[in-house]
Amino acid sequence: MTLNKLEIALLEFLIPQGSRPDILAKQLGCIEVVDRDYSGAGFFTTVKHSDKSPIVSHPYVSPFGSVLIDSPELEHGGGALVFMSLGKIDFLEAYAYGDQWPKKELKSFQLKSASNP
């Protein structure tokens, strides 16, 4: 599976906030989705990396992310975090604030910095 529009937008927005964003940006081109699990309040997207994917050496921060997801499909908006394992992006978690996440891709959304909304 490939990353959907929201997952790509979230990762592109969040990668500059992580440790070694230059390496994380290169990882983005080396991943594919192995699982997308809707939890009711959000979703988890687990990825795997090709052999060409670079590794971020220790120390690195995990999880990381500061984003507000604004969408008419989320009454109170949402947020997201990126989790890493062994120097690589492992999974993306997105969640709704106070309501259910639709069991489908959001049709429209805007991303904003959570630290400066």
For the stretch 57-86, pLDDT in tens is 977 889 999 899 999 999 999 999 999 999
What's the confidence (pLDDT) of residue 105?
Answer: 87
Q: Which residues contact 91 (CB under 8 A, 6 or more apart)?
A: 44, 45, 46, 47, 82, 83
CA distance readout (Å), 17 to 9, 30, 53: 14, 19, 19
Comparing 31-35, 102-106, 107-111, the range with the smallest average pLDDT is 102-106
Say how far apart CA 95 and CA 40 lie, in whole Å: 9
Nearest CA among 91, 62, 66, 90 for reference residue 80? 66
In this prediction, what percent of the chain has a pLDDT beyond 90?
82
Q: For the whole model, what pTM was predicted?
A: 0.93
What's the confidence (pLDDT) of residue 117?
Answer: 55
